[in-house]
Chain A
Amino acid sequence: MSGLMQSLRALARLKPAQKLTRDYLVSLLTAVLLALAVGAGIMLVCGHNPIEGYGALIEGALGKPRAIGNTLAKTVTLCLTGLAMSLAAKAGVFNVGGEGQLYLGAMAAAVVGAQVDAPAWLVTLLALLAAMAAGGLYALLPGALKVKWKVDEVITTIMLNSVAIYFCSYLANGPLKTAERGIATGTDSIMAEAAFTPLIKLSNLTTGVFYAAAVALIVWYVMSRSSVGFEMKLTGENDRFARYGGIRTGSLMLWAMVFSGAICGLVGMLEVFGLHKRFLTTVSNEFYFDGMLVAMIMRYSPFGVIVMSFFFAVLSIGSKSMELSAGVSSELILIVQSIIIFFMAAEGGIRKALGERAALRRARAAAGERGRG
């Protein structure tokens, strides 16, 4: 999904911080419909029936219990990474390093899961804590650099992604490489009883979803209902004002970054304990960047992120079966997603231009009235 990476860079430059207004949601809905229409157009040009195509997409994402399970599992990943992004961004720090934090979390969880000899529930808990600690501490570094010396966190977190990913890859290929046959690059498998159990047969949806839901709920509460969330919001919107108001903006930013990293670590742990049962170098496929995208499109509104995650999960899961059953290439969905991002990035400008034109019309009309009157 490196095409998305490109659009992400474009969006990151905007650092949107406005509220999720009704106007914005209307624009978003329009953008989504337009993007789907363009997708339909492309299908037509390529000789497919768009109704069939989109039908296959929805069927593939929601048609069978197994499909629903996979879609929900994807929603969880998008949602947690999106919330991690939102949490930091709300406080004015831009955590682009979630991918690396996710890898380290996954690695920490895999190591605990494979090496610790304890009751299964304890192993799960320890792995959870280890993953969150790994992700959180890894986010502490760019956070501290930002707060102490004003080092741009966008640059440092992007760079630290590669460091973490290659470090984990080294571990999985070297010191921690499993002796099992048939596993190219991965660690030893975790204690089987400690892993999450599937909720729907043959799907990726496991009991891990409850942890995810709890975390999502906490993040939502902190961001939109708590005193500290209020302080974070002020810090993100205007840190000078927040400081003047007596808020300790530095430590607030740092904590936001740490928790953002911890959530990413948790996502890694969920992947390991839910799906792969060990650390694999393919544990994430730029999951964090997809989550970032959702967060930015929804302007860091926690509730919005949850809803949008589901929509993107449907697109993502459905696109594969659309390819299989309707023969429409799954890349089409990337086009649709990119068009949504394109419209949302241009949203401010388009809205302004339309507003100016409307104002001009009103002025002319008013002048006309006066002329007659």
Chain B
Amino acid sequence: MNDAATGAEIVRFSHVSKQYPGTLANDDVSLSIRRGEVFALVGENGAGKSTLMNLLYGLQAPTLGDIYIKGEKTGPQHGPESAMRMGVSMVHQHFKLVPSFTVAQNVMLGHEPRRGLFYDGREAEETVRRLSAEYGLKVEPGDVVRDLSVGIQQRVEILKALRTGADVLILDEPTAVLTPQEAEELFEVIRRVVQEKNMTVILITHRLPEVMRVSDRVGVMRRGRLEKVMETRETSEREIASLMVGRDVLFSDLPGGQAAGEERLVIRGLCALSDRGLPALRGMDLTVHAGEVVGVCGVEGNGQTELAECVAGMRPVTGGSVVLCGRDVTGQAPGRIREAGLSYIPEDRISTGVDVKASVAENLIVGKQRTPAFSRLGVHLRRGQVKKYAQELSQAFDIRTSGVDEPAGSLSGGNMQKVVLAREFSFGSPALLVCQPTRGVDIGATEFIHERIVEKRDQGCAVLLISADLDELMRLSDRLVTVFEGRVTGRFRTAEVTREEIGYYMTGGHQDTKEAEAQ
């Protein structure tokens, strides 16, 4: 697809640097992107890929260096508006849609067709229908956005980006919230706009399989620098991963679990409300045995968060029961449930997993601050012991910090997660609830965290794993359950199931859902 007409340069970064207080997010990046290609920009979290694209889209100004779009240099006044005028559009990770508006209203937002003084709804819907057909993005212009699935909302976002006739479309981690099927459909759209419209798509991602599938070239970023740009077909996932991390990465196969032991965590008919007060769990049933990892997979927002919070005592339970090691802990305080034998790695490190203002040492001993090891008579905090223990623990868990007195907030995502892990594993609890353990964590730390979870399982711990990363679930879990709208839709042995099957059950497992989307 790189014929002469399409190979021309469309975007050029020339020695671009971006300095944030304390970090050099982009360090002397020079890059040329061609017309009519899918360019994948990969790197770990914090590698600077989103920053680079924000510079192109004008959300921020580079500290140094120049950016050219179609040969034209972007000025100091460069912003999203001028970017769009020059043909660059961006779809962000977090959608910027008005939930109460229709698809057509959202797509035409800011450029509404008028008849006299009034908004011309029919014309708007017509335009959207035309765009939809043109790009092969199936949407129903009259639908209200908040009723749509995430996959469709993303299509609306893309249509919005394409409406202005973009030549360059930036997609920031577009598959993070999609099911495998939805991701597949997105890839088709990408291929189509590139081949038929001769557009350029820049794909920011850290999922290597999709880089291999869909991109023509791939640029690897690490610590703000552009490490290497390669033709995708001349490289491999392993090579890209090594470049991302800066060393060889071997994702060796993890050993499977032995036969499962007694029931440790039994969840029956669990019901709970979401933050918005709507039913999020509608009678969830789940059992985790000693010595096994049970993975919960589902598209985000189908009750996984609420499930974890109910089990851990962080959210009121409106129905059903949670039995932990033979004790009914339904609706008890988190401290009680912890005593009953649950360690919990929450999905949101920054607001729940750690106290970013407290030191690493303080974070590591939380839950033990009144035990004799750290407290004389439960009154006097033995600060020397706290520090010594924290140093030992950070060594054991390879927490990289300039000192255990540093605030936890100064750590990188991976190291912060290791703090949570180190603390939670140190209780020696018989049951473990793990949520999104490697979200925003670099590949090296991911390996480490996975090994530790498996190690815990081998010691006889019952592990309930909730993750949005299907690869992670397939790799770690002995059994999988799929959830959809607050209920379990399928139960599998990991060895006996395919991704496609799982994807089917993640979307509700009903044939009519698919048909409805196809209309």
Q: Do A and B bind each other?
A: yes
Chain A positions near chain B (C-beta within 8 angstroms): 17-19, 225-231, 233-234, 237-238, 240-248, 352, 355-356, 359-360, 362-364, 367, 370
Q: Does B254 make an interface contact (CB < 8 A)?
A: no
> In the complex, which residues 296-348 of chain B have their Cβ closer than 8 Å to any Cβ of chain A?
312, 314, 333-335, 338-339, 344, 346
Interface size, B (range): 35 or more
Can you add 17 more A-B contacts, CB < 8 Å, to A230-B369, A242-B366, A244-B352?
A18-B357, A225-B383, A226-B379, A227-B379, A234-B355, A238-B351, A241-B351, A241-B352, A243-B333, A243-B334, A244-B334, A246-B335, A246-B339, A246-B367, A359-B20, A363-B24, A364-B64
User: In the complex, which of the residues B63, B312, B314, B357 contacts A238, with contact meaning CB atoms closer than 8 Å?
Assistant: B357
Instruction: Give bound CA distance, A367 to B14, whole Å.
Output: 13
Instruction: Give bound CA distance, A243 to B316, whole Å.
Output: 13
By DSSP majority rule, is chain A's interface helix, strand, loop, or mixed? helix
- CB-CB under 8 A from A245, the residues of chain B are 334-335, 366-367
CB <8 Å contact, A227 and B20: no
Min distance, Cβ B192 to any Cβ of chain A, angstroms: 41
- CB-CB under 8 A from A225, the residues of chain B are 380-381, 383
Instruction: Give bound CA distance, A18 to B356, whole Å.
Output: 11
With contacts A355-B21, A363-B17 taken as known, whether A246 is within 8 angstroms of B381 at the C-beta atoms is: no
Instruction: Give bound CA distance, A218 to B352, whole Å.
Output: 31
- CB-CB under 8 A from B378, the residues of chain A are 227
- CB-CB under 8 A from A229, the residues of chain B are 381
Min distance, Cβ B466 to any Cβ of chain A, angstroms: 16
Q: Does B76 make an interface contact (CB < 8 A)?
A: no
> In the complex, which residues 275-306 of chain B have their Cβ closer than 8 Å to any Cβ of chain A?
none
Instruction: Give bound CA distance, A235 to B48, whole Å.
Output: 34
Q: Does B353 make an interface contact (CB < 8 A)?
A: yes
CB <8 Å contact, A246 and B19: no
Q: Does B370 make an interface contact (CB < 8 A)?
A: yes
Instruction: Give bound CA distance, A301 to B357, whole Å.
Output: 15
CB <8 Å contact, A367 and B64: yes
Interface string of B464-493 (1 = CB under 8 A from A): 000000000000000000000000000000
Interchain residue pairs A-B with the least CB separation, the first 7:
A246-B335, A363-B19, A245-B366, A227-B375, A238-B355, A237-B357, A246-B338
Instruction: Give bound CA distance, A234 to B314, whole Å.
Output: 17
Instruction: Give bound CA distance, A242 to B367, whole Å.
Output: 9
CB <8 Å contact, B355 and A227: no
- CB-CB under 8 A from A364, the residues of chain B are 63-64
User: In the complex, which of the residues A19, A228, A247, A360 contacts B63, with contact meaning CB atoms closer than 8 Å?
Assistant: A360
CB <8 Å contact, B362 and A230: yes
Of B355, B357, B358, the most chain A CB neighbours within 10 A belong to B355
CB <8 Å contact, A228 and B379: yes
CB <8 Å contact, A352 and B17: no
Min distance, Cβ A112 to any Cβ of chain B, angstroms: 31
Chain B residue at minimal CB-CB distance from A364: B64
Instruction: Give bound CA distance, A266 to B64, whole Å.
Output: 61
Min distance, Cβ B255 to any Cβ of chain A, angstroms: 31
- CB-CB under 8 A from A231, the residues of chain B are 369
Of A247, A248, A356, A364, the most chain B CB neighbours within 10 A belong to A247
Q: Does B28 make an interface contact (CB < 8 A)?
A: yes
CB <8 Å contact, B358 and A352: no
CB <8 Å contact, A226 and B380: yes
Chain B residue at minimal CB-CB distance from A235: B355
CB <8 Å contact, A247 and B358: no
With contacts A234-B358, A367-B64, A370-B28 taken as known, whether A244 is within 8 angstroms of B380 at the C-beta atoms is: no
Chain A residue at minimal CB-CB distance from B28: A370
Instruction: Give bound CA distance, A237 to B353, whole Å.
Output: 13
Instruction: Give bound CA distance, A5 to B332, whole Å.
Output: 43
Q: Does B272 make an interface contact (CB < 8 A)?
A: no
- CB-CB under 8 A from B333, the residues of chain A are 243, 246, 248
Min distance, Cβ B212 to any Cβ of chain A, angstroms: 34
- CB-CB under 8 A from B71, the residues of chain A are none
- CB-CB under 8 A from A367, the residues of chain B are 17, 28, 64
CB <8 Å contact, A244 and B346: yes
Instruction: Give bound CA distance, A226 to B335, whole Å.
Output: 20
Chain B residue at minimal CB-CB distance from A231: B369
- CB-CB under 8 A from B355, the residues of chain A are 234, 237-238, 241-242
Q: Does B354 make an interface contact (CB < 8 A)?
A: yes
- CB-CB under 8 A from A237, the residues of chain B are 355, 357-358
- CB-CB under 8 A from B375, the residues of chain A are 227
**A-B contact list, 15 entries, CB within 8 Å:** A18-B357, A226-B381, A227-B378, A230-B369, A234-B362, A237-B357, A238-B355, A243-B334, A244-B312, A244-B314, A244-B344, A246-B338, A248-B335, A355-B21, A355-B22
User: In the complex, which of the residues A19, A226, A246, A352 contacts B21, with contact meaning CB atoms closer than 8 Å?
Assistant: A352
Chain A residue at minimal CB-CB distance from B314: A244
- CB-CB under 8 A from A359, the residues of chain B are 19-22
Instruction: Give bound CA distance, A327 to B366, whole Å.
Output: 57
- CB-CB under 8 A from A360, the residues of chain B are 19, 63
CB <8 Å contact, B353 and A363: no
Min distance, Cβ B187 to any Cβ of chain A, angstroms: 38
- CB-CB under 8 A from B369, the residues of chain A are 227, 230-231
